[in-house]
Amino acid sequence: MALEVEKKSSINRREFFSYLSIGFIALSASVGGVLSLIFRYLYPNVVFEPAMDFNAGRPEAYDTGVDERWKKIYGVWIFKSDGKFVAMSNICTHLGCVPTWLSAERKFKCPCHGSGFYPNGINFEGPAPRPLERYKVFLDATGNAIVDKTRVFRYEKGEWSNPDSYISV
């Protein structure tokens, strides 16, 4: 007579492995879920930074040339010339420092690596590869200029002729 092997466990090998697979998938899913939650956690929902758009007041109230009043808060230079009112980014196009407006020399000069820009934002010296970027400007219903920094206009892409990039004054 062959030996009768008594069944000791209530589950067999096949069932054990199917439970194991379910457990493994559940564990992987929960670890993956927690990791993606942590990834999402590191993106703040609210940042305490200046708004991306602001009311710059009436364009006709500005003098011709470069105006620095919004530089410190919003990082924007207003440049008014040849009947156009534009808002310029104050971020150097080389590596992202903030140039200084040298009114005596009529140019922007970046302290980090010496890039220079004309008052209209065109680069002429130093390592900066392209002109300063311009932001969207438009007049609201009351005639105030609104600067919208979420929309950028680049000279090298021919975007400075886009009517959203300036206000005619």
Partner 1 sequence: MADNESFVEKVSKTQVWKSIFRHGPPNNARNRAAVVAGNVFLHLHPIKLKKSGVQLGYTWCMGGLTFFIFLALTVTGILLMFYYRPTAEYAYNDIIALREHVPLGIMRELHRWGAHAMVITVWIHMFRVFMTGSYKPPREFNWGVGVILLVLTMLLSFTGYLLPWDQLAIWAITVGSNMAKATPFLGNGGPGAAFAKIGDFALVSDKNDVRFQLLGGRFVGEAALLRFYILHCVFIPVVVAVLIAVHFWRVRKDGGISAPL
Contact residues toward partner 1 (CB under 8 A) are 42-44, 47-49, 95-97, 111-112, 150
Pair of tokens at residue 157: 């892409």
Residue with tokens 């200084």: 100
Q: Which is nearer to partner 1, 65 or 129 (CB)?
A: 129
Q: Which is nearer to partner 1, 59 or 147 (CB)?
A: 147
CB of 141 vs partner 1, minimal distance in Å: 23
Q: Which is nearer to partner 1, 20 or 73 (CB)?
A: 73
Q: Which is nearer to partner 1, 37 or 47 (CB)?
A: 47
Which residues have a Cβ under 8 Å from the Cβ of 74 and sit 6 or more positions away? 50, 51, 54, 147, 149
CB of 168 vs partner 1, minimal distance in Å: 23
CB of 164 vs partner 1, minimal distance in Å: 11
Give the H/E segment covering residue 130.
Answer: none
- How many other C-beta atoms can be found within 10 angstroms of the C-beta atom of residue 97? 14
CB of 15 vs partner 1, minimal distance in Å: 38
9: left (phi over 0), alpha (psi -120 to 50) or beta: beta
